Amino acid sequence: MQLQMNRAQGLRARPAARGVPALSRRHTVSVSAVASEPRLAPTESLNAKNWTPAQWRSKPALQQPEYLEPEEVKKACEEIARMPPLIFAGECRTLQQRLAKASAGESFVLFGGDCAEAFSQFSANRIRDLYRLILQMSTVLAFGGGVPVVKLGRIAGQFAKPRSAPTETINGVTLPAYRGDIINGPEFTAEARRCDPWRLVRAYNQSAATLNLLRGFSYGGYAGLSRVSQWNLDFMKNTPEGNAYMDIAKRVDEAIQFMIACGMDTNVPFMRETEFYTCHECLLLDYEEALTRLDSTTDKWYGCSSHFLWCGERTRQLDHAHVEYLRGVHNPIGVKVSDKMDPNDIVTLIAMLNPQNTPGRLSIIVRMGAKALRAKFPALIEAVQRSGQTVTWVCDPMHGNTETVSGFKTRRYENVRAEIEAFFDVHELMGTVPGGVHLEMTGDNVTECIGGGASVAEEDLNSRYHTHCDPRLNAEQSLEIAFYVAQRLRQRRESLATKVKPTSSI
């Protein structure tokens, strides 16, 4: 497989804490579920050279669809396996470098996009509007926070959704649950809820078209810094957040003009291009296996459905299929954890997924709600610190704050912000690094989350509630979050600067 953008640099693993075995490049470990303390033992069993993309099939696999036509599933997956990869191994290695910097506080990660992509809502304009919103937010974070921003879109693959129950009952009628457009349809009919394996191929084709457009935006001049003032969404122009963004855009333009006057060449790549990566939950394992490819340069396996894959709270069992699949691919990966995660178990899980303790390899995405995060998160951080493990800590303030209001699943902006505030507060208390935020959001002018600068009220939910799954922040609410996060990043930078004592010379 042709590699692109392979600029990886070696990074040293942090030394292990006293009494805890070091996880070095020379020494792999095996792990098992623990009740009291992590158990690590030398072995070669976790060496990815002994791993194959189909190995997950030997483990219990949760949240998988029940297809009625297994031969059709095989045919659809064989067709996808013949298709080109959606992403390239070199891009994954570059992303891992960026995430390694985020784990050290030298950059910040922004994940953002739909709860679940829909076939019916697929359009170039919707892709463009989400892309513009992520660019806006990254500009706010970089300018206000003073750090580079790693941009990941929940797009070009975020089709499948885990469900709390396999069926749904309405008016006495019970049908299979909607599991995302890659599996079945949202309409409450027997035909729509049938698991259709050929939706896998349709999802691949939509992902390929989406990535083609995103690459065009990223490297064709649309994302150039000279266009910062043109990224504002039309319906945002007369809002407080839109105006605040335009103020930053004006200051960026002035800074660029000053640099040009000083002789800067505006034709350099960083002025005309931007790095943009994709991510989605590693849920539907038939699809992931079909897109797993062996990189001919490094002789390593990569999940070529997306640059970054994560394992959800419902599928992170140590001895199950999703962890088995993710441990074998060399993409940067993530795991979502709630307040149910035991501190000892998180050390074991990290050792299993990142046995060489490679910075940037693994992100831990916490989703707890503000109150539970303040109570439970410090113990997780302490356990990881004590083990000497390196992870990128990311806050998902969405999934711990879902509630039902007037028959609509929604989230309150104030609760979302409160969890981000708690995330930064805990890291400040622990002396550790807040590495990123993971948001379900859209560039559409929707009314799905209550509150914020958009002033969406409970009675507004029925106005523009367009999601097929979970409620998303709209553009106004998302930008407001970006301004708050930028403020916390700036405060952190200033706090660290005051702790650095100037050296004196005689």
Q: Name the 3-class secondary structure at 218.
A: helix
**What is d(CA 15, CA 413) in angstroms, rounded to the nearest whole number?**
40
CATH number reported for the structural domain that contains residue 468 in this entry: 3.20.20.70
Q: Name the 3-class secondary structure at 404.
A: strand
Give the model's pLDDT for residue 267: 73
**β-bridge pairing 149-154 and 108-113:** parallel
**What is d(CA 125, CA 442) in angstroms, rounded to the nearest whole number?**
12
Give the model's pLDDT for residue 38: 35
**What is d(CA 433, CA 429) in angstroms, rounded to the nearest whole number?**
10
Q: Name the 3-class secondary structure at 253.
A: helix
Q: Which residues are annotated as a binding site for Mn(2+)?
A: 115, 399, 440, 470
Q: Which residues are annotated as a binding site for phosphoenolpyruvate?
A: 154, 313-314, 336, 367
**What is d(CA 357, CA 50) in angstroms, rounded to the nearest whole number?**
19
pTM for this predicted structure: 0.86
* Residues contacting 295, CB < 8 A, separation 6+: 1, 3, 89, 301, 302, 330
338 token code pair = 């709630």
102 token code pair = 């985020």
* Residues contacting 306, CB < 8 A, separation 6+: 86, 87, 156, 157, 278, 279, 280, 331
Is 104 among the domain residues? yes
Rg value, the chain, Cα: 22
**β-bridge pairing 402-405 and 408-411:** antiparallel
Give the model's pLDDT for residue 408: 82
Q: Name the 3-class secondary structure at 385.
A: helix
Is 209 among the domain residues? yes
According to the 3-state scheme, what is the secondary structure of 313-337?
HHHCCCCCHHHHHHHHCCCCEEEEE
**What is d(CA 297, CA 335) in angstroms, rounded to the nearest whole number?**
28
Is 25 among the domain residues? no
**What is d(CA 370, CA 422) in angstroms, rounded to the nearest whole number?**
6
> What residues form DSSP beta bridges with 311?
335
The boundaries of the domain holding residue 219 are 66-495
**What is d(CA 463, CA 149) in angstroms, rounded to the nearest whole number?**
34
Q: Which residues are annotated as a binding site?
A: 115, 154, 313-314, 336, 367, 399, 440, 470
Is 51 among the domain residues? no
Q: What is the pLDDT along the chain (506 residues), one digit of tens a residue?
A: 433 333 333 322 333 333 333 333 333 333 322 223 333 333 333 445 689 999 999 999 999 999 999 999 999 999 999 999 999 999 999 999 999 999 999 999 999 999 999 999 999 999 999 999 999 999 999 998 899 999 999 999 999 999 989 999 999 999 999 999 999 999 999 999 999 999 999 999 999 999 999 999 999 888 777 677 677 766 666 677 778 878 877 777 777 777 778 877 777 776 678 999 999 999 999 999 999 999 999 999 999 999 999 999 999 999 999 999 999 999 999 999 999 999 999 999 999 999 999 999 999 999 999 999 999 999 999 999 999 999 999 999 999 898 888 888 888 999 999 999 999 999 999 999 999 999 999 988 888 888 887 778 777 777 787 777 788 999 989 999 999 999 999 999 998 888 765 554 44
Give the H or E element holding residue 140.
helix 124-145
353 token code pair = 């997924």
Is 300 among the domain residues? yes
Give the model's pLDDT for residue 264: 74
Q: CB-side exposure of 304: number of CA atoms within 13 Å?
A: 24
User: Which residue reads 């013949």 in tokens?
Assistant: 82
Is 219 among the domain residues? yes
**What is d(CA 394, CA 415) in angstroms, rounded to the nearest whole number?**
17
Is 471 among the domain residues? yes
Q: CB-side exposure of 493: number of CA atoms within 13 Å?
A: 18
Is 4 among the domain residues? no
264 token code pair = 């800067």
Write 490-496 long-range contacts (CB < 8 A, 24+): 490/144, 490/145, 490/146, 492/105, 492/424, 492/428, 492/434, 493/145, 493/146, 493/147, 495/428, 496/105
**What is d(CA 68, CA 70) in angstroms, rounded to the nearest whole number?**
6
Q: Name the 3-class secondary structure at 279.
A: strand
Number of domains in the chain: 1
